[in-house]
Amino acid sequence: MRYFITGTAGFIGFHLARRLLQDGHEVLGFDGMTPYYSLKLKEARVAGLVQFPSFRPVEAMLEDRETLHAATREFKPDVIVHLAAQAGVRYSLENPKAYLDSNLIGSWNVLEAAREANVGHLLLASTSSVYGANPDIPFRETDKADEPLTFYAASKKAMEAMAHSYAHLYKIPTTAFRFFTVYGPWGRPDMALFKFVKAMIEDQEIEIYGEGKMSRDFTYIDDLVDSIVDLASIIPSEDNRVAGIDTLSHQGPFRIVNIGGGQPAGLMDFVETIEKIMGKPAKRKMLPMQQGDVPRTFASPDLLLALTGRKPEIGLNEGVGAFVEWYLEHRSQID
């Protein structure tokens, strides 16, 4: 099949594209190569993809509607996976316009491209941040998610709403998935695992927010990619409605699915796992919770399990170990 993926120089987009290419699919990767973090790391990811003859990269911003539409017209994708976004919860406090441009205007351009291409399935990356400080656990897709704590979360919830309208108006089969603290090799330098491991190697302090009392439903990248690949083949329709727990809209072929294992870990458990694998204690700097942070995330995997027959299972020991091994091997290339 022909997959058009936005964000292939990014963490998740790189892993998904590589998996699809290994499986024999064609991939067009669309990425703006923004300098939000190390371009060396992004270029290293792209270098790993261009080794595949069935991969074609296009460098442009999502806001460049003309280039985006020209690429989809020429490629004629069967599936569009929209992963590109301005990421980072904390950065949205400093530069909200970046989120407006990428996550709203850019996502609208993707919706228009999907409509024009009459794509068979549109998949969109959303986030567990849309649940805000939801007191009910685990977080279910049917829970109210109308109280975002950051503009990042608000921009992703708005993208979901825009996509639903397009699914209704133009009958575009659409699945939006909400990610839960994804980590693993080739991750972003602004993510906790990357920052902690780097600091420990350099004998620097690690900053632990919320006094270490927060918890997260960590999702290893390979599990996430498995779930995306599985969901790509499950077109939202009444034929696969899951009774009682489904978010399948009655107004169009649109569904929201959590991608998380439903096994949250405390932040201090996460730190101790890193310490064990690194074989050294971290210099801990305990700090209060930052503005916009949520105390916990906890996915209900029930809908994902009902649709695909599996859910994320890889534990912290295996996942953190794989990241540390990768980082030690590639550190000179990406720092």
The catalytic residues are 152
Peptide linkage before 253 cis (omega within 30 of 0):
no
Strand ranges, E, within 168-264: 174-179, 182-183, 205-208, 215-216, 219-220, 254-259
Is residue 213 within a helix (H) or strand (E), and if so which, with residue range?
none
Whole-Å CA distances, 102 to 10, 65, 99, 173, 330: 14, 12, 5, 22, 29
Buried b (16+ CB within 10 A) or exposed e, 59-70: ebbbebbebbbe
Single-letter amino acid code for the residue at 51: Q
Return the ∠ at Cα 261 (arms to 257 and 264), rounded to 5°. Answer: 120
Buried b (16+ CB within 10 A) or exposed e, 18-52: bbbbeeebbbbbbbbeeebbeeebbebbbeebeeb
Distance of CA 123 to the CA centre of its chain: 11
The two structure tokens encoding residue 79: 């599936």
Sequence-distant (6+) residues with CB within 8 A of 96 are 151
CB 87 within 8 A of CB 36: yes
Instruction: Kindly calculate the radius of gyration of the chain based on its CA atoms and give it in whole angstroms.
Output: 19
Beta bridge partners of 205: 283
Question: How far is the C-alpha of 34 from the C-alpha of 9, rounded, in Å?
Answer: 10
